[in-house]
């Protein structure tokens, strides 16, 4: 089976880090590059964190690119309250020694989509959509060449996590999200509706620690830190491990279920800015532009995660 060529666009973020590790541990995935974007923490930290994760996986060869340092037309909103000041709070991590690529992330996305055969590259955004939207604006010819976009973002029945109406990744750059959701590229959306069903329970974190590897220890330490915010906020028994749901879907889509529906992005109202308005019941005739995922086999997801991370 030919490995799936992907670009992960990311704002690490402990959960982003686990998504990157899952991709690097899985033979089904051919990670062409990692493009960092400002989101959870500012860009200098997200690009540094992406390199820290690659080195943790023993993969200093992976190409990491820095992208947009702010949303298309708004000030940056960050989430240190969730991820800590570094974005990878929990364990102490040494600074990376692997290089950051000189090329801008947006130029890498454009060049890769133009050079790879059309319909073979999948974009996996797990942060604000600024880099993807900028690439589409700067080079509209690449849009038809994208095989699929599998993104973490949005919320409908689960409602918002940064405002009552909006999920963080969409909220940070709603204009970028509007561009991506309207581009016509086949879209798989992993909203809070599904990620909140993939909680880091004590047993699941213990399984990471029981690996006896540095990767297992780091993932356990990250999730220990990351979950404190969500457990206090939701009173849940763990935190939603958002971003790895995208990579897990590419490896085993049978772990997930959803509905092909219309999803539009609110950009006009301050009250509901960044809301993913999901026509789950088909009450409009708006185009069905997104496979909106609502359910997950959480046990199967964590079994896949543990099995793959143990390989690193």
Per-residue DSSP letter, 240: B
Our CB check for ligand RIB shows the closer of 107 and 173 to be: 173
> In a 3-state reduction of DSSP, which class is residue 99?
coil
Nearer to ligand RIB, 198 or 215 (CB): 198
- 89 or 279: CB nearest Ca ion: 89
Looking at 81, 104, 196, 242, which residue is catalytic?
242
Nearer to ligand RIB, 110 or 194 (CB): 194
Min dist. Cβ of residue 127 to ligand RIB (A): 5
Q: Is the dihedral of CA 251, 7, 98, 37 positive or negative?
A: negative
Let me know how long the chain is: 312
- Give the HSE-up count for residue 92: Cα atoms under 13 Å, Cβ half-sphere: 1
Q: What does DSSP assign to residue 269?
A: -
Please answer whether residues 183 and 136 qualify as being in contact, where contact means their C-beta atoms are separated by less than 8 angstroms: yes
CA gap 171, 87 in Å, rounded: 18
Provide the 3-class DSSP secondary structure of residue 65.
strand
Minimum distance, C-beta of residue 276 to ligand RIB, in the bound complex (Å): 11
Partner whose binding site includes residue 161, from ligand RIB, Ca ion, none (CB under 5 to 8 Å by kind): ligand RIB
Tell me which residues touch Ca ion (CB under 5 A): 11, 13, 16, 126-127, 243
Active site residue 81: no
User: Which does residue 167 touch among ligand RIB, Ca ion, none (CB within 5 to 8 A, set by kind)?
Assistant: ligand RIB
Residue 71 touches which of Ca ion, ligand RIB, none (Cβ within 5-8 Å per kind): none
Q: Which residues contact 77 (CB under 8 A, 6 or more apart)?
A: 162, 168, 171, 172
Q: Among Ca ion, ligand RIB, none, what does residue 106 contact (CB within 5–8 Å per kind)? A: none
Task: Select the binding partner of residue 168 from ligand RIB, Ca ion, none (C-beta < 5 to 8 A, by kind).
Answer: ligand RIB
Nearest distance from C-beta of residue 160 to ligand RIB, angstroms: 9
81 burial class (0-12, 13-18, 19+ CB within 10 angstroms)? exposed
Beta carbon of residue 100, minimum distance to ligand RIB (angstroms, whole number): 20
Q: How far is the CB of 286 from ligand RIB (least distance, A)?
A: 24
Rg (CA), the chain: 18
Distance CA 224, CA 88 (A): 11
Rounded to an integer, what distance in angstroms lies between the CA atom of residue 248 and that of residue 266?
28
What minimum distance in Å lies between the beta carbon of 78 and Ca ion?
12
| Closer residue to ligand RIB (CB): 107 or 274 | 274
Q: Do the Cβ atoms of 161 and 192 come closer than 8 Å?
A: yes
Nearer to ligand RIB, 77 or 143 (CB): 77
Site residues (vs ligand RIB, CB under 6 A): 11, 13, 15-16, 39-40, 126-127, 152, 161, 167-169, 242-243
The Cα-based distances of 20 to 8, 57, 166, 290 in angstroms read 8, 9, 25, 23
Q: Which residues are catalytic?
A: 242
């Amino acid at each position: 089976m030919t490995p799936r060529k992907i670009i992960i666009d990311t704002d690490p973020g402990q959960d982003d880090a686990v998504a990157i590790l899952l991709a690097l541990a899985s033979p089904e995935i051919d990670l062409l590059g990692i493009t960092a974007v400002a989101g959870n923490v500012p860009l200098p930290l997200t690009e540094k964190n992406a390199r820290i994760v690659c080195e943790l996986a023993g993969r200093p060869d992976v190409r990491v690119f820095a992208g947009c340092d702010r949303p298309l037309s708004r000030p940056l909103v960050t989430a240190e309250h969730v991820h800590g000041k570094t974005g990878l709070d929990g364990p102490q991590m040494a600074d990376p020694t692997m290089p950051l690529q000189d090329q801008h992330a947006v130029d890498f996305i454009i060049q890769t989509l133009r050079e790879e055969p059309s319909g073979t590259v999948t974009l996996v955004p797990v942060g604000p959509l600024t880099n993807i939207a900028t690439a589409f604006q700067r080079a509209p010819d690449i849009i038809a060449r994208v095989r699929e976009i599998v993104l973490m973002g949005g919320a409908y029945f689960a409602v918002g996590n940064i405002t009552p109406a909006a999920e963080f990744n969409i909220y940070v750059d709603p204009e970028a999200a509007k561009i991506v959701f309207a581009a016509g590229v086949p879209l798989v959306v992993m909203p809070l509706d599904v990620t909140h069903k993939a909680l880091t329970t004590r047993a699941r974190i213990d399984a990471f620690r029981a690996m006896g590897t540095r990767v297992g220890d780091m993932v356990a330490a990250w999730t220990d830190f990351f979950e404190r915010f969500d457990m206090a906020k939701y009173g849940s028994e763990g935190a939603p491990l958002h971003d790895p749901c995208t990579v897990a879907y590419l490896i085993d889509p049978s772990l997930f279920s959803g509905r092909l529906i219309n999803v539009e992005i609110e950009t006009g109202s301050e009250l509901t800015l960044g809301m993913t308005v999901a026509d789950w019941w088909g009450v409009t005739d708006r185009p069905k532009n997104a496979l909106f995922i609502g359910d997950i086999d959480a046990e199967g997801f964590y079994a896949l995660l543990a099995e793959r991370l143990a390989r690193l």
